[in-house]
Each structure stands twice: as C-alpha cells, then as structure tokens.
Chain A
Amino acid sequence: MNIAVCVCSVPDTASVVGYLDGAIDYSRVNMVINPFDEYALEEALRFKERVEGSVVTVFSFAPDSAKEVLRKALAMGADRAVRVSCSEDALQPSDPFLTALGLSRAISGFYGAILPDLVFCGKQSTDFQSAQVPSMLAELLGMASVSGITSLHPSGEFLRVEREIEGGIEAIDVTFPAVLSAEKGLNEPRNTSIRGVMEARKKTIDLFQVSLLEEPFVVLSGVEPLERKKICCFVPDEHELLRILSHDCNLL
C-alpha cells in the first residue's frame, strides 16, 4: 500500500513572529513541522505498521530552507521524502489552490499511473489557517476526502473514520483511495529516537520540480500587526465582578 503524507513548516508556536517594513519578519522564527501534519504523519506510520509492505512518502511544497521538516519526517519513520519545488518561483503559501495544485502534480508525477491508496494531510496549517488544501487536493486527484478526522479504523475494504461536528460526532465510511485530514486528538505523535535521527541524515531527500503557470485564486494583499493587549480592570472580589457583569455589561 502506498501512503502519501503532505507536510509544511510553520513558525514554532513559542517563537515571536516579527513585523518589518510592512511584511512578516521570519528572521527570529524557529520553523517546525505543522502540528496537524504531525498527527497526519503519525497516522500514516501506524497504518504502515499494520499493513505489511506499505511505503510512506512525505511531500512538502517548500523552499530548500524548509528541508528540516522532511528530515524530521524521515526521523519519525517515513520511508521517502520529496521536496516539491516550482521553477516559476510561484510558491505562495497564502494561496491554498496553488499549494494544492503543486502537491497534486507532484503526487501524480511521483506515483505515475497508480495513485497512492491514501493521502494524509493536517487539517490546516497554524500560520494562515485556511483549512482548504486537503479537500482541494482531493478534488484535483479525483479522490474522496474527509476533513478533520479524530479516529481511524480499517474495516475490510472500508476505513471507518470519525470527526467532530457541531454538538456531536459523525462516523463515516470511506473507501480507497482517499485524502484524510487529521485533527488533534487523532493520535499521540511519537518522539524521534537518536537512531531515527541518525538514519534520517543518511537518507536522500528527492526533489520534484513542478510547473505552475496558473494564477492564484487568492492573493495576500497586506498584513498588519495586531495589538492584542487590553487594559485589564482588576476587581476586588466576586461581588464586584458579578455586579459588573450583570449590571454594567448586562451579560447575565
């Protein structure tokens, strides 16, 4: 069974993303694998451990500087890693369509006529949080998809998955091939072992060049830093708090 996993790199949640000359400043940012992609990769690795002969290949549509993310994926146990790049320098992480298109071309090109049985993605990246790439990728590859899964159990020719909906849980059966996007709670990603890290260093990261001449669907026209600080009014006790909320704010 062939399993593809799509990962991207995002700023570490602990690092401070700066602002310089009207643009986002990444110079003080530590880039890590997108947390939701880590759940996706973990689920792919668990699948591989259940089904003998499975091969997990990780794809990242990213500049050369983001290769560490693929290295980390190899250290966790992925068999192969592919960095997808485009000659037109059209890499636009803010446009989910071009990202999905680049990934779909890389996956189709890499596997040829027989597409992978499963494609795992994180449900969204933590930077732009569009949550659009997985379903777009599925449409481009002609596959079914389920977004934001929190559990997965193979059952014969089906995969039984669950996801949270408003006020409940939806249990869904899906057949192969499919694109599944991972929500937090799906699993607990493994730590990388020293041996895994050493072996990952020896593995090569393949480069797959795609041609992207299409226009983006969405363009990022500007960013502005947000001042989040509020002026906190400290109240002396619970009586005063309740009086403010009920009387002044009329919220209760």
Chain B
Amino acid sequence: MKKFLVFLEQREGIVKQSSLSAWNRVQELAALDGNSVVAGILAGPVDTGQLDGAMAGDGVIYHAGEDGLGVYNQERYTRVVADTFTREACTDLFFADTVMARDMAPRLSVRIQASLLSGRTTLDGDDGVSRRVYSGSFQASFVPTRQPRMYILSSSAPVPAFPDGGRINFIDIEPQQWTVEDLFPIVRRIIMGEGPPDVAEARIVVAGGRGMGSAEGFALIEQLASLLGGAVGASRTAVDSGWRSHAEQIGQTGKTVAPALYFACGISGAVQHLAGIGSAGVVVAINSDRDAPIFDAADYGLVGDVHIVLPKLIDLVKEFLKKQ
C-alpha cells in the first residue's frame, strides 16, 4: 500500500489553486491504484473552512498552523514536511510546480534521500517521468532509483473532472521549537503585482516580439490580452531591448507556458522561443514574413503587419464580446 503526501501551498492564508489541482490529480492516481491513501501537509495558519468541498476524495490533512510558518521559510518548511513524511510513513510526495516547490523540493529530496522528478504529466501509475529537454528537441524518460519518491507535477497536465467533495480530516501538528539559525533566509516582504494574470498560469497568452517595434508597440498586445482576460508574453528580443520585463519572457531563458490559446505577434519563432510554448494548445501566429519559422509551430497563421492586423482584430474582438 502506498501513502501519497501532497504539499498544499498557501500564501497569505489562501491555499493555492494549483495545490488543490495537484491534490485532485493525486486522488485520481490513488483511485487507479486502488490500494493507496492520500494525505496533505499544510504549513501556516489557514482557515481550513475554505477547503470545504474544494477537494476530491477522502484524506487526512496534517496542519502545522503555527504563526511562525505563515510566510515561507525554507528550513522550517523543509523540516515540517520531512518530519511529517517520515512520521506518517509516506511513500510518495507531490508538489504543484511553483517557485516555492522548486526552492524546497531539491533540499527535501536530499534530506529524506528520495528520487525527485519534475515535470510529471501523466498520473497513470507509471513511476517514471517523460518530459521535454534540450529546448524541446527531445522527449527524455527518467526513472527513479530510490524509495521514497518525490514528484513536481507539470502545470500543463489536465485536472480530472471534479468528483464529489470527500471527507477530509484535519490533524493539527504541534508548534515546534525553532532556533534563530532556522530563520534564514527570511522573507522580508512580498510585493504582489496587480491586475493581469501571471504568464505561466494564464489560459490565454498574447505575446509580442521584435515585430512590435518598440515598448509603445506593446500597447496593442496589452489591449488584446486585457480584452481576452489573458497575460502578456514577450520574446527574448523584446526583453533584451528593454521593451518588457523578464518576468514576461517566454522561451529557453524565460518561462515555459501552457495556455489553451497562444498568440505570437511579430515573433519570428527562434528555437529558444519555441522551447517555451511546446505545451501550448492552439497557437496563432501573426507575422509579415510568410517564411518565418513561427508558422511551422502554429496551428493558424495570418500573414500581415502586426500594426495593421492587431488593431483590426482588437476591434472585432470588442464587437464579439459585446454580443456575448
């Protein structure tokens, strides 16, 4: 029998949607397996009422609700998760793919001597992981050699249909004695951006490249993204030219995105850029050069100058949304 532990990430007392999706996906895996149980570990003071009906299946959630865990702290979080994992004799540990997971999971894997695999998309009971490497030129298969196992789930995989809310029991973990040494690195301040969704999490991404011509040229990209409730993305050229911030860069040295709909506007489609959109759903390319490589990576293409095409498209989208 396996015992799966899911790390439930909270920020400012709100459990992240990506963690709830991870929980539901692991529940699906346990159901396939037939003989496995699912548990969660939640660090920080959280009103657990918010989880009523939001989580599938049955399970136990170990809740370390002390104030000292309210904000992410690498050493404290690592210890709470490692202790719970060991104490409860868990076999597999799962994370949603977040900055926090990427910061903490490698350290944890050394501490509990577990194989750590990132980018797991299929929860079909196969222990290995297959994911893209070398800018998306190859699909590589990785196999864990150790027990226990840790997985960072790919954010692009579908979340199973939500079954009826299950029975969740909460078990409180006693506050621990922390020393000053456990305090660093300490998060001093969190500055949350406002408005548009994060490019890595958005359902629709409108990205611009060299063809936008200037920082001002991105006004069209912003307009279309905001109309569609999507996020703005940028090619490396647009970022290196100082038109957009690195947080929006998509590609090998930027983010990997998996939106349902991706617009590439004035982007030629260098290999480095395509590395970041391999898991996108429908890709639309708008470019004045019919031979641009981006069209080989696109489902739909429109040949034309973005400065003429985008204003027209924006007007049509406005009309369309009005009718809805």
Q: Is B133 a contact partner of A132 (Cβ separation < 8 A)?
A: no
A174 vs B188: C-alpha distance when bound (angstroms): 10
Most-contacted residue by chain A among B138, B278, B285 (CB, 10 A): B138
Q: Which of B102-128 contact A (CB under 8 A)?
A: 102-107, 109-111, 114-118, 128
Q: Number of A residues whose C-beta is below 8 Å from B? A: 81
Question: Count the A-B residue pairs with Cβ separation under 8 angstroms: how many?
Answer: 248
Q: Is B192 a contact partner of A232 (Cβ separation < 8 A)?
A: no
Q: Which single member of B185, B189, B299 contacts A232 (CB below 8 Å)?
A: B299
Q: Is A172 a contact partner of B309 (Cβ separation < 8 A)?
A: no
Q: Is B302 an interface residue (CB 8 A)?
A: yes
Q: Is B300 an interface residue (CB 8 A)?
A: yes
A100 vs B237: C-alpha distance when bound (angstroms): 33
Q: Is B302 a contact partner of A237 (Cβ separation < 8 A)?
A: yes
Q: Is B283 an interface residue (CB 8 A)?
A: yes
Q: Is A172 a contact partner of B187 (Cβ separation < 8 A)?
A: yes
Question: Do most interface residues of chain A lie in helix, strand or loop, or is the interface mixed?
Answer: mixed
Q: Is B106 a contact partner of A24 (Cβ separation < 8 A)?
A: no
- Which B residues lie within 8 Å of A145 (CB)? 74, 103, 107, 185
Q: Which of B241-255 contact A (CB under 8 A)?
A: 245-247, 249, 252-254
Q: Is B161 an interface residue (CB 8 A)?
A: no
In the complex where A144-B184, A233-B299 touch, is A164 in contact with B106 (Cβ < 8 A)? no
Q: Which of B261-302 contact A (CB under 8 A)?
A: 261, 271-272, 274, 278, 281-285, 295-302
- Which B residues lie within 8 Å of A24 (CB)? 134, 138
Q: Is A246 an interface residue (CB 8 A)?
A: yes
**Nearest chain B CB to A217's CB is how many angstroms away?**
5
- Which B residues lie within 8 Å of A19 (CB)? 138
Per-residue B-contact encoding for A101-116, CB less than 8 Å = 1, 0 else: 0000000000000000
Q: Is B246 a contact partner of A185 (Cβ separation < 8 A)?
A: yes
Q: Is B171 an interface residue (CB 8 A)?
A: no
Q: Number of B residues whose C-beta is below 8 Å from A? A: 87
In the complex where A164-B247, A230-B296 touch, is A238 in contact with B316 (Cβ < 8 A)? yes
- Which A residues lie within 8 Å of B271 (CB)? 13-14
In the complex where A140-B110, A145-B74, A166-B200 touch, is A221 in contact with B128 (Cβ < 8 A)? yes
Q: Is A148 a contact partner of B99 (Cβ separation < 8 A)?
A: yes
In the complex where A126-B252, A173-B185 touch, is A221 in contact with B143 (Cβ < 8 A)? yes
Closest A residue to B196 by CB, please name it. A167
Q: Is A238 a contact partner of B312 (Cβ separation < 8 A)?
A: yes
**Nearest chain A CB to B173's CB is how many angstroms away?**
22
Closest B residue to A233 by CB, please name it. B300
- Which A residues lie within 8 Å of B142 (CB)? 94, 218-221
Q: Is B198 a contact partner of A17 (Cβ separation < 8 A)?
A: no
Q: Is A33 an interface residue (CB 8 A)?
A: no
- Which B residues lie within 8 Å of A183 (CB)? 246
Q: Which single member of B74, B143, B245 contacts A219 (CB below 8 Å)?
A: B143
Per-residue A-contact encoding for B130-161, CB less than 8 Å = 1, 0 else: 00111111111111111000000000000000
Contacts A/B (CB < 8 Å), 20 sampled = A97-B116, A128-B140, A136-B107, A136-B109, A139-B106, A164-B247, A165-B11, A166-B16, A169-B190, A170-B191, A172-B187, A175-B184, A185-B246, A225-B139, A226-B139, A226-B278, A230-B296, A234-B301, A237-B302, A251-B261
Further pairs besides A17-B138, A135-B104, A147-B102: 17, Cβ < 8 Å:
A13-B272, A127-B134, A135-B103, A150-B246, A167-B201, A169-B191, A173-B185, A184-B249, A217-B144, A218-B145, A221-B142, A230-B283, A230-B298, A232-B300, A234-B300, A234-B302, A234-B303
Chain A residues with CB under 8 Å of chain B are: 11, 13-14, 17, 19, 24, 35-36, 94, 96-97, 100, 126-136, 138-140, 144-148, 150, 160-161, 163-175, 178, 183-185, 215-226, 228-230, 232-235, 237-239, 241-242, 244-246, 249, 251-252
